[in-house]
Each structure stands twice: as C-alpha cells, then as structure tokens.
Structure 1
C-alpha cells in the first residue's frame, strides 16, 4: 500500500506507472477475475527477492519504486 501512496503523491509519474504496469501485466488478464491488467504474483515475488534478497525489510520499497519510475521517465525513448 505504501508504494501506491508514494506514486499517488507524484502526479507526473502517473503516466509512467500506468505504462510500466501495462508492460508487466499478466497474459490474458481480461479472461480471469479480477479482470485487471496486473502482473502475476510470482513475478512480483521474484522481482522483490532479486532486489532485496531474503530480507523481510521492505522499508525502501516505495522509495525504490518512485526512483525506478523517475528513471523510466527520464530514459531516452526511441521515437
């Protein structure tokens, strides 16, 4: 929940956040409840484990997500 709040506090990152969620959405998300384009739980668990290891301390998670979204926004895109 802290990640969502951190992103909601940064309106300039909303389009980037939506784009990133869309990119990692589950295949055929529209065929299964809850009918939302969200990633697989196993994918999120894998990404968190690769970032933080087996630690249960996710106190930096919200800050790290905001930093990642800023990086995505500032990365030069191919047009």
Structure 2
C-alpha cells in the first residue's frame, strides 16, 4: 500500500482521478470486488496491487472518462 501511494504521489496529473475513483469505490473497495480484480489481474486472489499497476489503471480511468 505504501509503495502504491508513493508511486501515485509521483504523478500529480492523476491525483484528481485517484480521488474520484476512491470516492466511487467508497475509498475501500468491496472485498469480493477486490479479490475478483486481483484474480483477473494477477491470477491470485491474495495478490496485492503493484504501484506501477495502480498508476496505469488510474491513467486508463482518466482517459476513459475523457472519452465519454
């Protein structure tokens, strides 16, 4: 978690997107949703998201939001 936060702080262009996504997920994602995402991304329900992957995901969210 700390590594992800440090990676996020290094990319101020996605801070607002991170806040929006966090707000939509209720700041803490539902455990079932999080397990599903970890399985689909890493193949392991107990995996922890890597910082670079968080930044990539937030950039995708930002681009998707702009395209709507």
Q: Scaled by the length of structure 2, what TM-score is found? A: 0.72
Instruction: Compute the RMSD of aligned alpha carbons.
Output: 2.3
> Which whole-Å deviations, capped at 9, do the CAs of 1:18-50 have from their partners, x for residues lacking one?
11111122xxxxxxxxxxx32223321221111
Q: Which of the two has higher C-alpha Rg?
A: 1
Q: Which residue of 1 aligns with 2:53?
A: 64
> What is the match of residue 5 of structure 1?
6
| Other-structure match for 1:41 | 31
Relative to total residues, which structure has the larger helix share, 1 or 2? Answer: 2
- What TM-score comes out, normalization by structure 1 length? 0.64
Q: Where in structure 2 are there 5+ consecutive unaligned residues?
A: none
* Unmatched segments (≥5 aa) in structure 1: 26-36
Q: What is the Cα deviation at residue 77 of structure 1?
A: 4.3
| Cross-structure match for 1:18 | 19
